[in-house]
């Protein structure tokens, strides 16, 4: 049973544009939502994370928007750069520290000049 649905599967954005990746979850017990960035040949790297008590978190060009009532959260990459080209995974975990991370299926982002 997939508990975190991620879309789109792939995304092409022009340099300087905004990249938006969406995730939806089912388990209302989830209380921590990280995003990971993975480059080819590397392990996923923690990018940014949010708890459900806030609706938005921003770190540099990366912003998470969180809608608790809709059970959705999204990653926005502002001023997208070619170096942002990677696969992005959303994830969720409940009972922070005592449960496993559940990952979305990933979005392959390509930034074109």
Partner 1 sequence: KAGVTQTPRYLIKTRGQQVTLSCSPISGHRSVSWYQQTPGQGLQFLFEYFSETQRNKGNFPGRFSGRQFSNSRSEMNVSTLELGDSALYLCASSYNGGEQFFGPGTRLTVL
Residues that bind partner 1 (CB under 8 A): 32, 34, 36, 41-46, 49, 89, 93, 96-106
**Nearer Cβ to partner 1, position 72 or 94?**
94
Please identify, using beta-carbon distances, which residue of 20 and 49 lies nearer to partner 1. Answer: 49
Contacts of 60 (CB under 8 A, 6+ apart): none
* Shortest reach from residue 100's CB to partner 1, in Å: 5
Least separation, in Å, of the C-beta of 61 and partner 1?
A: 21
Please state, in angstroms and as integers, the Cα–Cα distance from residue 48 to each residue in 14, 41, 51, 53, 109, following that order.
22, 21, 11, 15, 17
Say if residues 88 and 35 touch (Cβ distance below 8 Å): yes
Q: Determine the Cα angle at 66 with ends 60 and 32, to 5°.
A: 90
Q: How far is the CB of 60 from partner 1 (least distance, A)?
A: 18
Return the number of the residue (15 or 51) whose C-beta is nearest partner 1. Answer: 51
Shortest reach from residue 53's CB to partner 1, in Å? 15
Cβ atoms of 3 and 13 closer than 8 Å:
no
């Amino acid at each position: 049973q997939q508990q975190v649905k991620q879309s789109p599967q792939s995304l092409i954005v022009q340099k300087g544009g905004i990249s938006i990746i969406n995730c939806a979850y089912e388990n209302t017990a989830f209380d921590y939502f990280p995003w990971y960035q993975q480059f080819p040949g590397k392990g996923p790297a923690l990018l940014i994370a949010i708890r459900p008590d806030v609706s938005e978190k921003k770190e540099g060009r990366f912003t998470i928007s969180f809608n608790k009532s809709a059970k959705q959260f999204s990653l926005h990459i502002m001023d997208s750069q070619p170096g942002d080209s990677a696969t992005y995974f959303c994830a969720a975990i409940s009972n922070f520290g005592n449960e496993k991370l559940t990952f979305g299926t990933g979005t392959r982002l390509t930034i074109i000049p």
